[in-house]
């Protein structure tokens, strides 16, 4: 009859919203046991309350997520470094080329080339810098919860009382439940 103190947070459609068990406001969040024996509607704000429930955090999943994020960051930094090295080599090659051209041309031509190379450098710097700004991913809310002892006991009592009431209704429908009228003389 008892069910585990392990609830999964799920969302339902707006049309299926019911009152919260705690504050009686309409809510679309549901806490449900894995075996579907017990469920109840609760406001998302109550899930943040440490006096009501505590999140069950899967440490392996958290570690895997951190590791994947770290690997992604390392790959991005390597790519940026390789890009900078490539641009640096191109810049050095362009400077060597411009130095050779300076020797060949007169002073007027060299001034024009300097202006062109400076313009090319500024364009390369502008295009080389990543302008994309990553917005930090919102932290995922925990999906697994464990109720505090008092609330869990309340859920068990509520379920037990509902079961007892159901049994009593079934007994009342049975015609043999009530005693029969005496048929003999008093």
Contacts by 152-158, CB closer than 8 A, 24 or more apart: 152/5, 155/38, 155/40, 156/2, 156/3
Q: Give the DSSP H or E segment for 72.
A: helix 59-104
Long-range CB contact pairs, 58-61, < 8 A, 24+ = 58/144
Residue 34's alpha-carbon distances to 88, 136, 148, in angstroms, are 58, 32, 17
Q: What is the pLDDT of residue 175?
A: 83
pLDDT score, position 64: 86
Q: Scanning the structure block, which residue is given the tokens 């007994």?
A: 171
Q: State how far the Cα of 91 lies from the Cα of 84, in Å rounded to an integer.
A: 10
| Digit-coded pLDDT (tens) for 145-155 | 999 999 999 99
Q: Which residues share a beta bridge with 146? A: 54
Which residues have C-beta within 8 Å of that of residue 6, sequence separation ≥ 6? Answer: 33, 34, 56, 144, 145, 146
pTM over 0.95: no
What are the extents of the domains in the chain?
Answer: 7-57+142-171, 59-128
User: Which residue, chain included where needed, has tokens 């049975």?
Assistant: 174
- DSSP 8-state secondary structure symbol assigned to residue 151: H
Phi, psi at residue 145, to the nearest 5°? -135, 155
- Supply 10's token pair: 């799920």
- What pLDDT score was predicted for residue 96? 81
pLDDT at 180: 83
| Per-block mean pLDDT, blocks of 10 residues, the chain (186 long) | 86 92 92 90 90 84 88 94 91 81 61 61 57 50 85 93 94 86 85
The number of residues in the chain equals: 186
């Amino acid at each position: 009859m008892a069910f585990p103190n392990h609830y999964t947070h799920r969302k339902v459609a707006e049309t299926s919203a019911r009152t919260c068990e705690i504050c009686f406001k309409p809510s679309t969040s549901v806490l449900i046991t894995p075996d579907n024996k017990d469920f109840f509607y609760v406001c998302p704000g109550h899930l943040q309350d440490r006096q009501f429930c505590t999140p069950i955090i899967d440490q392996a999943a958290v570690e895997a997520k951190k590791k994947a994020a770290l690997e992604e960051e390392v790959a991005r930094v390597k790519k940026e470094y390789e890009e900078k090295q490539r641009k640096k080599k191109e810049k050095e090659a362009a400077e060597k080329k411009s130095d050779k051209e300076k020797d060949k041309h007169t002073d007027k031509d060299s001034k024009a080339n300097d202006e062109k190379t400076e313009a090319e450098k500024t364009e390369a710097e502008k295009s080389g810098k990543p302008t994309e700004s990553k917005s930090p991913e919102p932290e995922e809310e925990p999906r697994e919860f464990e109720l505090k002892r008092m609330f869990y006991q309340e859920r068990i009592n509520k379920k037990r009382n509902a079961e007892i009431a159901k049994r009593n209704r079934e007994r009342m429908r049975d015609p043999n439940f009530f005693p029969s009228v005496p048929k003999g003389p008093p």
